[in-house]
Amino acid sequence: MKARYLAPLGIFVLLVVLLWAGLYLNPREVPSPLIDKPAPEFTLPLLHDAGKQIARKDLLGQVTLLNVWASWCDACREEHPLLVELARSGQVPIYGLNYKDAREDALRWLNGLGNPYVASAFDEQGKVGIDYGVYGVPETYVIDREGVIRYKVIGPLTEDSLKNTVLPLIRKLQG
């Protein structure tokens, strides 16, 4: 008889544990379903040269970072120095996906802040962004030699995330 009356308390305790765990999660973050899947195919004009094209195959054969950016994006400005620094160190080639931008604005932005990208693809309509599951800018993908996406950074790169997660992963993939 007594046990039955303890049921509400028991359920409540479980609820509190769940809520407590919930305080340390981020409900707004959308994990990518493309992790460990081949990076989607794309062919886009280059940002710097509308006549030339860049495609997925150009990323193969080496571990690469694909960084989604735009000149209208404030948070991109935050992470940009880190990218420039990383490019200069030569640890990993960085490709850019210029997302829903105006060519002029994007070029001007890079001229002003530095260009860490081996090449930047110009995704004016954002269609390739959709294929990659981009929902906010900036985002960064770690792609391995065979063109499989291994990790996605949502939001700007930070010193911390670079040092503790991204760089170790890149080194592991590079073998």
- Please identify, using beta-carbon distances, which residue of 34 and 113 lies nearer to other proteins: 34
Which CB, 10 or 168, lies closer to other proteins?
10
Take residue 16 and report the two structure tokens written for it: 């509190």
Cα 102 to the chain's mean position, in Å? Answer: 21
Phi-psi region of 86 (alpha: psi -120 to 50; beta: other; left: phi over 0): alpha
> What are the residues binding other proteins (CB under 8 A)?
1-2, 5-6, 8-9, 12-13, 15-16, 18-25, 27-34, 100, 125-126, 130-133, 135-136
Cβ contact 99:76 at 8 Å: no
As a whole number of angstroms, the distance between CA 95 and CA 127 comes to 17
CB of 16 vs other proteins, minimal distance in Å: 5
Q: Smallest distance from the beta carbon of 149 to other proteins, in angstroms?
A: 12
Nearer to other proteins, 45 or 136 (CB): 136
What distance in Å separates the CA atoms of residue 108 and residue 68, rounded to the nearest whole number? 17
What does the block give as tokens for 6?
Answer: 């303890």
CB of 22 to other proteins, least distance (A): 4
Q: Which residue lies nearer to other proteins by CB, 24 or 159?
A: 24
